[in-house]
């Protein structure tokens, strides 16, 4: 399961209000690629497959496809604002390292994966 912080819920609600479509949910997914193996993605989506995991927090529906759910299990999505960056951050306990930009990661199970780089597994999306 994925959790959303209070800040993430607030920001997603703001973004959904701008879309003005009550059928939309936040879809969180993983794709192959990026400089470290996997990349995070987020979009608003009306559709939902039978195998999707769906959960809700304070009126925000989150949808995760079956393939991504294992790689995202236990993750926390936050919305962060700092002097240098603003955006969603995914804290993923399954990621053993992230690339320098923080948008991709690899897991311990990946064959031939690069060695840990010592960076925290928090990606900003």
Query: Which tokens is 110 given?
Result: 């990946």
Strand partners, 79: 88
CATH fold group of domain 3-124: Hypothetical Protein Aq_1857; Chain: A; (2.60.300)
Q: Pick the closest to residue 40 from 9, 2, 7 (CA basis).
A: 2
pTM: 0.75
Residue 99: pLDDT over 60: no
Is-contact 97 114, C-beta < 8 A?
yes
Give me the pLDDT at residue 43, please.
Answer: 96
**107 sits in which H/E element:** strand 104-107
Question: For the segment 12-51, what is each residue's pLDDT rounded down to a tens digit?
Answer: 999 999 999 999 999 999 887 655 577 889 999 999 999 9
Query: Which tokens is 87 given?
Result: 């955006």
Question: For the segment 42-79, what is each residue's pLDDT rounded down to a tens digit?
Answer: 999 999 999 999 999 999 999 999 989 988 999 999 99
């Amino acid at each position: 399961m994925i959790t959303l912080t209070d800040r993430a819920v607030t920001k997603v609600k703001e973004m959904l209000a701008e879309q003005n479509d009550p059928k939309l949910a936040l879809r969180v997914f993983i794709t192959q690629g990026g400089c470290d193996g996997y990349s995070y993605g987020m979009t608003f989506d009306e559709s939902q497959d039978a195998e999707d995991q769906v959960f809700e927090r304070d009126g925000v529906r989150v949808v995760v496809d079956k393939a991504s759910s294992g790689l995202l299990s236990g993750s926390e999505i936050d919305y962060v604002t700092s002097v240098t960056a603003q955006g969603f951050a995914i804290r993923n306990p399954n990621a053993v390292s992230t690339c320098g930009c923080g948008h991709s990661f690899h897991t311990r199970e990946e064959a031939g994966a690069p060695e840990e780089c010592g960076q925290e597994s928090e990606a900003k999306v």
